[in-house]
Structure 1
Amino acid sequence: MKDTIKKGMALGLGLAVASKEQAQKMMDDLVKKGEMTRQESKEFMNDALKKGEEKQTEMDSMMHERMAKMLSDLNVATKEEVKRLEHRIVELENQLNKPE
């Protein structure tokens, strides 16, 4: 499942890079045609990148919430729960090994 998620994220990143390159090419063409200044092009790209980063942060948060809910629904133990159980096992083993 992790591999599928990683592949999906890599695909998304690849699409984002390709989209950025296409957008930059389009902006360069508009500048060449005189329909946009270099400064306007730069501001547009910076704004688009900022919005993209904000959306990425939103999506990361949403994915994290959905994964946590899915794991909870499946009754999968969290790292903290496993560590607590491991600690409890050590305590119980120590009690069993104590001379009386």
Structure 2
Amino acid sequence: MIDLMRKSVYAALGLAVMTREKVEESARKIASDAKMSEAEGKKFVDELVKKSEETKASIEKMVNERVDSALKKVNICTQEELKSLEKRVSKLENDCESRDKK
């Protein structure tokens, strides 16, 4: 059971790193080898491409969450936080320049 789950995860990861064209190509080959009808083959290709895109999105989300978590643990600011600080500094500089001109 664990081996089957492991193989499924590896297959999903494999699909996630493949380009759309490669997924379609692989799905067409599998459909042809399985002697599916044209309609069945098209449905299979569409499902595999959809699953591939869903898996990519899921993995990307998970990686982003893990990176964000790691950044917080090591206390490194994010790009968003840096931009916010830059805006605040610019505003303060402008305010000071305005007061100095008076």
Note whether the superposition's TM-score is higher than 0.5: yes
Match of 1:70 in 2: 70
Structure 1 portions without partners, runs of 5+: 1-10
Shift of 1:89: 2.9
1:37-60 Cα deviation digits (max 9, x unpaired): 111111111112112211111111
Segments of structure 2 that go 5 or more residues without pairing to the other structure are 1-15
The separation in 1 between residues aligned to 2:87 and 2:44, in whole angstroms, is 54
Mapped to 1, the partners of 2:29 and 2:80 lie a distance apart of: 48
Deviation at 1:18, TM superposition (A): 3.9
Q: Does the 8 Å contact 2:32/2:41 carry over to 1?
A: yes
Shift of 1:26: 2.4
TM-score, length-normalised on structure 1?
0.62
Equivalent residue for 1:21, pick from 8, 18, 25? 25
* 39 and 76 in structure 1: CA distance in 2 versus 1, 3 angstrom threshold: same
Answer with 18-27 or 47-56: which moved more.
18-27
Instruction: Call closer, same or farther: CA 1:87–1:45 in 2, change over 3 Å.
Output: closer
Shift of 1:95: 2.7
- TM-score (structure 2 length as normaliser): 0.61
Percent same amino acid among aligned pairs? 29
Which residue is equivalent to 1:95?
Answer: 96
| Counterpart in the other structure of 1:8 | none
Higher relative contact order (CA 8 A, sep 6+): 2
RMSD of aligned alpha carbons? 2.8
Count of residue pairs brought into register by the alignment: 85
Paired residues for 1:1-100 under 5 Å = 12-13=17-18, 17-31=21-35, 36-90=36-90, 91-92=92-93, 94-95=95-96, 98=100
Query: Residue type of the partner of 1:98?
Result: D
